[in-house]
Amino acid sequence: MNRTETLNTLRSGSNEFDVVVVGGGITGAGVAREAAGSGLRTLLVEQKDFSWGTSSRSSKMVHGGLRYLGSGHYGLTRDAVRERERLMAEAPGLIDPLRFIMPHFKGQFPGPRLFQTLLRVYDFIARNHSRHFLTPAESMFWVPGLTGENLAGASGFTDAVTDDSRLVLRLIAEARRDGALCLNYTRALEVKRSGGQVSGLLIQPEDNETPIEISAPLVINATGAWADRLQSSDTSEAAMNIRPLRGSHLVLPWSCLPVSCSVSLFHPEDGRPVFAFPWLGTTVLGTTDLDHEGDLDQEPVISEAETAYLLEIAARLFPGSPIGRGDILSTWAGVRPVVTDGSGKAPSKENREHELRVDRGLLSIAGGKLTTFRVIAREALTRGLGEDAGKVLRPASEPVFQAAKDSVRPAAVGHQCWQRLQGFYGPELDQLLASGSLEPVTPNQASDLLWAELYWACDKEDVQHLDDLLLRRTRLGLVLPNAGKALLPEIRSHCQPLLGWDDQRWAEEQARYLGIYHNAYSLPPAEASDAS
């Protein structure tokens, strides 16, 4: 059921649900997937696009978080490591193992012995052995170009990496397969109550001025950094003190910084770990961690100070590969919804545990990690459903993702691309392959995106704007120079008919997309003019 059909269904009077989820990021998508999989009548609404907020702008890591273990948050690390193992087993190609290398330099914290101790606990939780120690010579072999100055060796271990936006979309697809209705560009205007208890939600689609009233006894507020907007102002004990923290990243051509694993170093400025890792044929540098003061309804933007911070660590790690601002393909910045006690801690010292608040049928979630979305979703539904949860929720052992069918790999599709397609699209892969050309969109480049994937997104994945297609359904706007502007005429010839846009609409959408890219996914204007 497409977006128009879903709205028509709601307007026709089919608007009674067991649970309504507000927020189409990883947490909301996870809740919708578990709710629909448990047989609950489920509606999800997202005020912008699916994964528009934090969940398309994360560090792409599905990991346990060694630094959280080092800070004493054993429970968070335990849940995350176990979920990482589960996700890699259920959806290879969507969540893939990635080797991490942590160089150790003489006189710098943490030393090899302490770090190896942390890794021993990490491996114990995961019930496998991935850690090893590298001599300086072995470290240089694993990471060509790494500085050898004062290098004492390196620790290696395995975590995982994903395309976070595709992870959200896969969860949405799974929820829909079990009967959930999911709408992007639909605002939650007001939580409706009867006698103080939640009775439903008033929603408004972006393209229609008439609100729709939804009936439901349970509303789950999974809007992350926006969570306080739906909370009752007269219920102080149910409110959360959310501290928006920004993390920013630089995207570089892989040829500028050719790494085959994730290389990490503690930044000398604040001691925070910063990574250089391979992603979709590029190399990503990230991340920062500082208070975000901007309007949450506007795209977050990397600052000049953050850019310098990330370039500094690249220069320290790889002194033989100087990187200038002119090398940067794109940037992204995301806002983490961290729940704070208000004690004034440094951003990187804030607890990343998720928190829940219940207010007479409105359950709000904030905090948490990308990796633990299933754990958070099940806890939220258990709290929200109360005594009925044990009878209603499906067993925790049931898979998040349905396995892809045993299809025959087309000769035109390489093995690595085939695994990615199975992970991204699961049971829908055969339909995707039949939807269009299996030729790569950018032949002879690192990206293996197929034209069929663009056709599928335009036809099946609720693309409302061009930036939905090029920044979230695909990542062409991040991995190609200048937002992929040179490719836009060809994309137009393929996609405009599928989207049903006339020439004026396409021109408006192209201008909107390029404006968003230049304002939020490239260097700030003052820096761009100085790029070299």
More confident residue, 109 or 298: 298
The predicted-structure confidence for 291-300, as pLDDT tens digits, reads as follows 999 898 899 9
296: CATH: 3.30.9.10
Residues 150, 254, single domain; the answer is: yes
Do the Cβ atoms of 361 and 218 come closer than 8 Å?
Answer: yes
Q: CA nearest 244: which of 210, 289, 280? A: 289
Instruction: Tell me, yes or no, whether 283 and 223 share the same domain.
Output: no
Q: Which two tokens stand for residue 452?
A: 């069929």
421 with 523, same domain: the answer is: yes
Average pLDDT over residues 316-322: 88
Average confidence score pLDDT of the chain: 92
| pLDDT value, residue 63 | 86
pLDDT at 72 over 80: no
Q: Which residues of 329-351 are buried (b: 16+ CB within 10 A; e: fewer)?
A: bbbbbbbbbbbbeeeeeebbebb
Mean pLDDT of 147-171: 96
pLDDT at 367 over 60: yes
pLDDT band at 233; cut points 50, 70, 90: low
Residue 202 domain flag:
yes
Look up residue 443 and give its two tokens: 């032949």
101, 263 Cβ separation under 8 angstroms: yes
Domain assignment present for residue 85? The answer is no
Is residue 149 in a domain?
A: yes
Give the count of beta carbons closer than 10 Å to the beta carbon of residue 77: 24
In a domain, 215, yes or no: yes
The arithmetic mean of pLDDT across residues 339-355, rounded, is 77
Does the pLDDT at position 475 exceed 60? yes
510 — pLDDT class (breaks 50, 70, 90): very high
Q: Are residues 178 and 251 in the same domain?
A: no
Rounded CA separation 16/472 (Å): 30
According to the model, what pLDDT value does residue 532 have? 39
Please state, in angstroms and rounded to a whole number, the distance separating the CA atoms of residues 521 and 251: 10
The reply to whether 103 and 146 lie within a common domain is yes
Residue 464: pLDDT over 80: yes
- Identify whether residues 363 and 333 lie together within a single domain: no
464 and 504 share a domain?
Answer: yes
How many Cβ atoms are within 10 Å of 489's Cβ, its own excluded?
9
Identify the three-state secondary structure at position 194.
strand
Output b/e per residue, 36-49; b: 16+ Cβ within 10 A: bbbebbbbbbbbbb
Per-residue confidence (pLDDT) for residue 118, from 0 to 100: 87
For residue 228, being part of any structural domain is answered with yes
Same domain, 302 and 267: yes
Higher confidence at residue 248 or residue 526? 248
We report the CATH number of the domain holding residue 8 as 3.50.50.60
Q: State how far the Cα of 52 lies from the Cα of 388, in Å rounded to an integer.
A: 33
3-state secondary structure of 265: strand
Q: Which amino acid is at 389?
A: A
* Structure token digits, residue 260: 């085959």
* Residue 249: CA count within 13 A, CB half-sphere: 26
Helix-strand-coil percent breakdown of the chain, rounded to 5?
40, 20, 35
| Stretch 49-57: mean pLDDT | 96
Decide if 397 is inside a domain.
Answer: no
| SS3 category, 397 | coil
Exposed (0-12), middle (13-18) or buried (19+): which is 78, by Cβ within 10 Å? middle
Amino acid 238: pLDDT: 57
Percent share of the chain, pLDDT over 90 = 75
* Domain assignment of residue 214, yes or no: yes
Name the domain boundary from 331, 361, 392. 392
Counted domains in the chain: 3
The reported pLDDT for the residue numbered 100 is 95
Q: Domain check: are 204 and 274 in the same one?
A: no
What is the pLDDT, as a whole number, of residue 70?
67
User: Once rounded to an integer, what is the mean pLDDT over residues 175-200?
Assistant: 97
Both 436 and 519 in one domain: the answer is yes
Tell me which residue of 31, 1, 5, 2 sits closest to 19, measured CA to CA.
31
Percentage of the chain modeled with pLDDT above 70: 95
d(CA 366, CA 296): 15
Residue 405 lies in a domain: no
Task: State whether 355 and 309 are in the same domain.
Answer: no
Least confident segment among 87-91, 252-256, 444-448:
444-448
Same domain, 50 and 145: no
Tens digits of residue pLDDT in 31-43: 999 999 999 999 9
For residue 416, pLDDT over 90 is answered with: yes
Residue 191 has pLDDT above 70, yes or no: yes
pLDDT of 528 higher than 60: no
Domain around 237: 3-54+165-241+350-392
CATH number at residue 522: 1.10.8.870
Is 107 or 215 the better-scoring residue by pLDDT? 215
496 pLDDT band (50/70/90 cuts)? very high
Give the pLDDT of residue 526.
55
Highest averaged pLDDT of the listed ranges 73-77, 255-259, 329-333: 329-333
The model's confidence at residue 236, banded by pLDDT at 50, 70 and 90, is very low
Q: Give residue 266's pLDDT band: very low, low, confident or very high (50, 70, 90).
A: confident
